[in-house]
Amino acid sequence: MAAETFEIERLGSQGDGIAAHAQGPVFIPFTLPGEKVKVAREKSKAVMLSLLEAAPERIAPACRHFGPDGENGTCGGCSLQHLERSAYDAFKRRVVIDALSAHGIDCPVAPLVTSGPGERRRASFAGRRTENGILLGFSSPESHHIVAIEECPVLSPALLARLPALKLLAGILVSTSDPFRVAVMETETGLDISFAGIKAPSEKRRQAATRAVMTVKGIDRLAIGDEIIVEPVKPELNLSGTRVFPPPASFAQATLGAEAAMTDLVVRHLRGSKRVADLFSGFGTFALRLAAKSRVHAVEFDGPALTALDHAVRNRQGLKQVTTERRDLFRRPLLPRELAPFDGVVFDPPRAGAKEQAEELARSNVARIVAVSCNPQTLGRDLSILGDGGYSIDTVVPVDQFFWSAHVEAVACLSRK
Ligand SMILES: C[S@@+](CC[C@H](N)C(=O)[O-])C[C@H]1O[C@@H](n2cnc3c(N)ncnc32)[C@H](O)[C@@H]1O
């Protein structure tokens, strides 16, 4: 592959620099608009070999694993550590604006709700047993290579401090060289750890892992999939005064700051609603806050998450009625006649968005809707469906909770015209 020189024109939505080429745009990770770079290219993808001219917005990365010269390989966790803060914040907001405008939506987009280093309370690591022991870290972009992590400035101090303990537990539980994953969440009480993709361990390995958990401070629970191996403390989250005991490997918003900002937007927009449907509710991040003032019906596919929500409601005084329903909202969205009793709806689907549910909401009479999204592209599609059904967008707020990645979330508040 011959080296070629390119000038970067703009940043793409995945955070790669984009350069023009006769055969179509070329995507060059870790580059910035205005920079001249020497690259090795294969079709539309290229790897930077050297930086010939740097942009004024370029800064030194915070982490030794970042970028093409990263220690142990290129870590796939971060893509934008080399961009100074104000340009970084503007980029994230722009991703949301561009995704909406690709669907013909031109509406007010608020400033980015920002996050920063050390705030991530939840992470999913990649791992593998090798001849030299356990590799634990993040995968390289578009590759199976695992970059062993010695540091990670985005993780919360509690998560970071337990990396050696995670390696120790992996060393005990993992007996093959197959890749595995380990999801970790920092709760109010300690870490909740859940391995996935590993062979069922022998009794001896389970007992050794149990002993290890009991001797390391700060670990609440160890699970493999949804099977609890040991749980010295029931992991607990505090949702504005309501205690929730999440099941293993639960979804929770990745930073507390983003959770507070999103919750505040949802509660404020739906204030005054008598009955609210919380669709894709998980264990009740929004439902439990909304229930301070409104009756709430929480709908979700994950049964254990709904059980946790139910328990939380039963152990808390002073909430309005909360009902739950286990349902696949892709296959069986709530229909207009089922939506009729609600004057407010919040929906917070996975990355695929909620096309089927948006189509039914578009035919409903629900007065106010909040769409929470982790994918601006599918959000654009869902908002355009709601717009065609007669909803107007009051505001869209972009939210950054995956700091230094290209990932951005958004909360859109809508009202029936
Ligand atoms: C982005 S999370 C949001 C959870 C919750 N709103 C929160 O903030 O904690 C998406 C939720 O959708 C649920 N989900 C995924 N597919 C679903 C489906 N087909 N039907 C209903 N819920 C689904 C997941 O289990 C998960 O709880």
> What confidence tens digit (pLDDT) does each residue in 2-24 have?
799 999 999 999 999 999 999 99
Residues 267 and 210 in one domain: no
* Catalytic residue (one of 63, 152, 374, 413): 374
Range of the domain at 203: 122-230
**Tally of helices (H runs) and strands (E runs) in the chain:** 10, 21
Residues 160 and 181 in one domain: yes
Strand order in the sheet with 122-130: 146-148, 133-139, 122-130, 180-186, 191-196, 219-224, 227-230
Confidence of residue 143 (pLDDT cuts 50, 70, 90): confident
Separation CA 167–CA 407 (nearest Å): 27
What integer pLDDT is reported at residue 150 of this predicted model? 87
Residues 196 and 259 in one domain: no
Distance 372 CA to ligand 1 centre (A): 11
Does residue 251 line the site of ligand 1, with CB under 6 A?
Answer: yes
Distance 156 CA to ligand 1 centre (A): 24
Does residue 250 line the site of ligand 1, with CB under 6 A?
Answer: no
Residue 82 lies in a domain: no
Domain count, the chain: 3
Tell me which of 40, 58, 76 is where a domain ends.
Answer: 58
Separation CA 284–CA 152 (nearest Å): 29
Distance 327 CA to ligand 1 centre (A): 10
Residues 262 and 401 in one domain: yes
Do 60 and 84 contact (CB within 8 A), yes or no? Answer: no
Separation CA 51–CA 230 (nearest Å): 50
The structure tokens listed for 328 are 């696949």
For the cut 90, the answer to whether the pLDDT of residue 367 exceeds it is yes
CATH code of the domain covering residue 345: 3.40.50.150
pLDDT digits (tens, 9 = 90+) for 223-265: 999 999 999 999 999 999 999 999 999 999 999 999 999 999 9
What integer pLDDT is reported at residue 2 of this predicted model? 74
Tell me which of 11, 42, 58 is where a domain ends.
Answer: 58
Nearest to 61 by CA among 104, 29, 95: 29
Average pLDDT taken over every residue of the chain: 96
Does residue 330 line the site of ligand 1, with CB under 6 A?
Answer: yes
The structure tokens listed for 132 are 């030299």
The secondary structure of residue 172, as a DSSP letter, is H
The structure tokens listed for 296 are 């709430």
Q: Which atom of ligand 1 is closest in space to residue 328's alpha carbon?
A: 20
Does residue 347 line the site of ligand 1, with CB under 6 A?
Answer: no
Residue 147 lies in a domain: yes
107 in catalytic set: no
What integer pLDDT is reported at residue 398 of this predicted model? 98
Q: Which atom of ligand 1 is closest in space to residue 331's alpha carbon?
A: 19
For residue 17, the number of C-alpha atoms closer than 13 Å in the C-beta half-sphere is 26
Separation CA 25–CA 33 (nearest Å): 14
Tell me which of 176, 198, 230 is where a domain ends.
Answer: 230
**pTM for the whole structure:** 0.96
Do 170 and 180 contact (CB within 8 A), yes or no? Answer: yes
Residue range 51-71: mean pLDDT, rounded? 96
Residues 49 and 104 in one domain: no
Residues 290 and 375 in one domain: yes
Residue 290 lies in a domain: yes
Annotated binding site for S-adenosyl-L-methionine: 253, 280, 300, 348
Confidence of residue 1 (pLDDT cuts 50, 70, 90): low
Residues 22 and 146 in one domain: no
Residue 45 lies in a domain: yes
Separation CA 112–CA 400 (nearest Å): 7
Residues 373 and 284 in one domain: yes
Distance 401 CA to ligand 1 centre (A): 17
Does residue 385 line the site of ligand 1, with CB under 6 A?
Answer: no
Separation CA 245–CA 112 (nearest Å): 31
